[in-house]
Structure 1
Amino acid sequence: MMPASSATLHVVATPIGNLGDLSPRAQEVLRTVAAICAEDTRHTGQLLSQFGIATPLLALHDHNEEAIAGRLVARLLAGESLALVSDAGTPLVSDPGFRLVRAARAAGVRVSPVPGACAAIAALSVAGLPSDRFVFEGFLPAKAAARRERLQRLAGETGTLVFYESSHRIADSLADMVQAFGAARPAVVARELTKLFETVLDGDLEALLAAVQADGNQRKGEFVVMVQGAGDDEDAKVAEGRRLYARLNEHLPPSTAAKLAADLSGAPRKALYGG
């Protein structure tokens, strides 16, 4: 199908820390488009000033994207090329932009990626966990009950799990992962990737939780948490049994909940409940 316009919406990855990761191609695109749609114009303005780029900025974020997507597509259809960036990394990966990209594609506008940094992929590349299959979950729910329910649903997943987490919830999230996945599940916590205080910690979940709790510096910055998937059929059965037990225990006595969860999942009852 012929494009409806000669213009292009460029989806441009920006650095997650090290400014050297903004590619020459990305710089050229950001210089030459009519405008740049940015999650936070102040933040992106500071980035652009480092490279002498003076392209006009337009705010596009979760609260206004649906309202302005149509106007932006109209500009594209009129022949103006635009760029889409997020505060850091690849747009749409736990960041705004999905509605604009969908609207542009529906209108027949060419949408082209300008690849670069992505925290999830960067973390996975250095984690030493299986990466042939992985599940990107982004940010977990902020509320504890919803977070624990989400993790319980993921306990039987066999691919490596990848999460983003903030500094004020990292310890609580790791504690909830210990409960959902078991203390011995291998995991990696990557912090402040490509920045001055970058750290990548590996071990089992219990050890990682202890390390984060013991060192205040390990509770600062931006985090990617990766958890190895349930390894074999027996691990998957236990993970599913724990998920079922957690739900059933909300309504039934613990011993009854454990018996039902064991019967339904095929997991040993003693792995679910000590009574």
Structure 2
Amino acid sequence: MTSLAPASFGAALQAARDAAGAQHYPEGTLYMVATPIGNLADITLRALQVLQIVDAVACEDTRHTQGLLRAYGIERPSSQLLALHQHNEAEAAQAVVARLAAGERIAYVSDAGTPGVSDPGARLAAAVHEAGLRVLPLPGASSVTTLVAAAGLVGGADEGAFVFAGFLPSKAGEREAAVQALAAEPRSVVLLEAPHRIEALARALSMLGERRVTLGRELTKQFEEIATTTAAALPAWLAAGRDRTRGEFALVLHPRPAAQDDNAEGERVLRLLLAELPLKSAVRLAAEISGAPRNALYELALRLRGERDQPSSSG
């Protein structure tokens, strides 16, 4: 099953057998195996062991996976590589389920990272669960957690929490609507994007103004670049370097600043109180309830009262 590997990965294969070989690998099980997102050394010992012992490897791209396995010194005939991608996942999943039901061990790998996270694999796992069979995950590389770890996501009402939004729609109108929805999300938001669409995404995100954005390009690879700027400045940052639009991208919107949350809540409360109370009382209570600055609320109250007292025009 294995051939002579480069010295570094030959040692890794032996380390995998030594460290993980004695563990239990049940038959009739689907092994969801995370693979590196760029740096080949980011493979776990347990992943190497599983990729050596399973009966077959289902994969997003058989040629890509064959190259990956050979890089580690693992040789498999093409008959042991099963194509399972977004265009055939439902049908191919049933073939995998049949083999699992017969007692085989099968690994699934996407082209890079963790299967099922903006990659094929979720429908396969669901089909295996539905058949009453076992899915065993092998954690590892993910562009999502890689960028979150480097971004320094502090502040906001729910510090540390984040939402994974993945790829936004490719059509301009739908993408802009999605960004408008993200503007109301107080938590951090992780996005993914391809190089041919990164500039369009940056233009759409620029409407978020001063909200901070961390961009990761070519994560874990030789020319990895991680930078933090504002959403408004993101298009200019991309345009400032010839190579900045190349490679695969992960982005994370930092949490919405608490001050923005307070101001938004202060305006909401103020509008309700102005309908029932004198201006100064409404401002005082709105500031106490929301935490928003009283001076800002007072100026807003004067403007709202002025708008309300304007005579209506007809015609």
TM-score by length of 1: 0.81
- Indicate if the aligned counterparts of 2:188 and 2:252 stay in contact, CA closer than 8 A: yes
Q: Tell me the alpha carbon deviations over residues 150-199 of structure 1, each in whole angstroms, 9 at most, x when there is no partner.
A: 111121111101000111111221111111x2x21111011000001000
Residue equivalent to 1:159 = 187
**Aligned AA for 2:142?**
C
- Indicate if the aligned counterparts of 1:8 and 1:81 stay in contact, CA closer than 8 A: yes
Residue equivalent to 2:61 = 40
Q: Give the 3-state SS of the residue equivalent to 1:52 in structure 2.
A: coil
Q: Structure 2 CA distance, aligned partners of 1:208 and 1:71?
A: 45
Residue equivalent to 1:71 = 95
Q: Structure 2 CA distance, aligned partners of 1:9 and 1:237?
A: 50
- Indicate if the aligned counterparts of 2:83 and 2:92 stay in contact, CA closer than 8 A: no
Residue equivalent to 1:54 = 75
1:25 matches 2:46:
yes
Larger Rg: 2
Q: How many residues align?
A: 238
Q: Structure 1 CA distance, aligned partners of 2:41 and 2:69?
A: 13
From 169, 174, 182, give the equivalent of 2:197. 169
Q: Structure 1 CA distance, aligned partners of 2:220 and 2:174?
A: 31
What stretches of structure 1 move > 6 A for 4+ residues in a row? 267-270
- Indicate if the aligned counterparts of 1:16 and 1:88 stay in contact, CA closer than 8 A: yes
1:213 matches 2:239:
yes
Residue equivalent to 1:263 = none
Give the CA deviation at 1:208.
2.8
Residue equivalent to 1:191 = 217
Q: Give the 3-state SS of the residue equivalent to 1:54 in structure 2.
A: coil
Q: Give the 3-state SS of the residue equivalent to 1:206 in structure 2.
A: coil
**Aligned AA for 1:210?**
A
Q: Which runs of 5+ in 2 are unaligned?
A: 1-25, 268-296, 304-315
- Indicate if the aligned counterparts of 1:104 and 1:110 stay in contact, CA closer than 8 A: yes
Give the CA deviation at 1:6.
3.7
Cα RMSD (Å) = 2.2
Q: Give the 3-state SS of the residue equivalent to 1:230 in structure 2.
A: coil
1:125 matches 2:146:
no
Residue equivalent to 2:270 = none
TM-score by length of 2: 0.71
Residue equivalent to 1:9 = 30
**Aligned AA for 2:212?**
P
Q: Structure 2 CA distance, aligned partners of 1:100 and 1:204?
A: 38
Residue equivalent to 1:98 = 122
1:138 matches 2:166:
yes
Q: Which runs of 5+ in 1 are unaligned?
A: 242-266, 271-275
Instruction: Among all aligned residue pairs of Structure 1 and Structure 2, give the percentage whose two residues are the same amino acid.
Output: 44
Q: Give the 3-state SS of the residue equivalent to 2:97 in structure 1.
A: helix
Q: Give the 3-state SS of the residue equivalent to 2:41 in structure 1.
A: helix
From 229, 244, 248, give the equivalent of 1:203. 229
Q: Give the 3-state SS of the residue equivalent to 2:232 in structure 1.
A: helix
- Indicate if the aligned counterparts of 1:156 and 1:235 stay in contact, CA closer than 8 A: no
Q: Structure 2 CA distance, aligned partners of 1:41 and 1:100?
A: 16
- Indicate if the aligned counterparts of 1:37 and 1:60 stay in contact, CA closer than 8 A: yes
**Aligned AA for 2:164?**
F
From 115, 125, 128, give the equivalent of 2:139. 115
C-alpha change, 1:39 and 1:237, in structure 2 (3 Å) is: farther
C-alpha change, 1:74 and 1:235, in structure 2 (3 Å) is: same
